[in-house]
Structure 1
Amino acid sequence: DIANYMELSKPSVCAAVKQLQAQGYITKDGNGIIELTKSGRAEAKEVFERHCFFEEKLIAVGVSPEQAHADAARLEHAVSNESFHALKKAGLPAGS
């Protein structure tokens, strides 16, 4: 279902699920039901916060929403915690 919904290959999704399980971010029961763990929810929240931050800033400086979304999806994983928190702390206003 995940592969179909996200238009990804089943082997890619299976590999990602195994990796997320090994990292303790998700559980999968005997029926294939996947749930986030407490640490998985925390990580998802952090990644979503990063995504929204970068998408908002890119749109504010004139990047199209579609491109900003695509770029934010990459940036949310590429920037270190230290750099992300420094950018947030700098309080860059939208459009700066």
Structure 2
Amino acid sequence: MDHPADLTPVGQDYLKVVWSAQEWSQDPVTTKLLAARMGVGASTVSETVRRLSAQGLLEHAPYGAIELTERGRALALAMVRRHRLLETYLVSELGYGWDEVHDEAEVLEHAVSDLMIERIDARLGHPTRDPHGDPIPTPSGELDSPPAVALSDLAAGEGAVVVRISDADPDVLRYLAELGVGLDTHVEVTERREYAGTVTLRWSGSSSAQLGLRAAEHVWVVRGSDPTA
């Protein structure tokens, strides 16, 4: 079992979610986390994890974290590649908004062939990131992740460049699009109000807006870039 097609769509989703949960977080992947992300009960998660573990794709010690085996990671990255290339294609070729593509790609990634994925990759010019800034794995499973931190981690006066915006909350994507803040936007945190749970951003020289800290956790930046560049 070394190809995503050998797995059921549910199995494909589990491996992808386990990998994605650790891409930008150091928190362990638990049964509770998987249940929340998959929208199913804990008992269903436990049974699926046991099945995938028996197939040599996951490792799960009792009461411990759920981790991918080497084979599981390879299959997960193949699914991540499919998903992110499809999202990129939907935005660049079919005119979808970046807040609309996640659910569409979730459906399509299970149905398209390897040939179609490689044709899409070639058509797009072999992109290295999707519309949200998430790196697209190569066919061999390699990917180049930027040294990013959450915007909510920046102190007042720090400048940075936006390199990723999580698609977990479409409302955040729509709000940032309305503001004109997207990938490669140079921003500066001009004020933090911990008591109010907000940060004030400046970008494009004079534009300014407040952003809730919860929303700022969805925005990932690389520190040190000139906000007026």
User: What TM-score do you get using the length of structure 2 for normalisation?
Assistant: 0.36
Q: For 1:5 and 1:83, locate their aligned partners in 2 and report how far apart those are by CA, in whole Å.
A: 28
Which of structures 1 and 2 has the bigger CA Rg?
A: 2
Q: Closer, same or farther in 2 for the Cα pair 1:78/1:19, shift >3 Å?
A: farther
Where does residue 78 of structure 1 map in the other structure? 111
| Identical counterparts, % of pairs | 33
Where does residue 15 of structure 1 map in the other structure? 47
Higher strand share: 2
Which runs of no fewer than 5 residues in structure 2 stay unpaired?
1-31, 126-229
The CA RMSD over aligned residues, in Å, is 2.1
Which runs of no fewer than 5 residues in structure 1 stay unpaired?
none
Number of aligned residue pairs: give it: 92
Q: CA deviation at 1:75?
A: 1.6
Higher relative contact order (CA 8 A, sep 6+): 1
Higher helix share: 1
Among 120, 123, 128, which residue is 1:92 paired with?
A: 123
**1:35 and 2:37 equivalent?**
no
Q: Closer, same or farther in 2 for the Cα pair 1:24/1:80, shift >3 Å?
A: farther
Q: CA deviation at 1:36?
A: 0.6
User: What TM-score do you get using the length of structure 1 for normalisation?
Assistant: 0.76
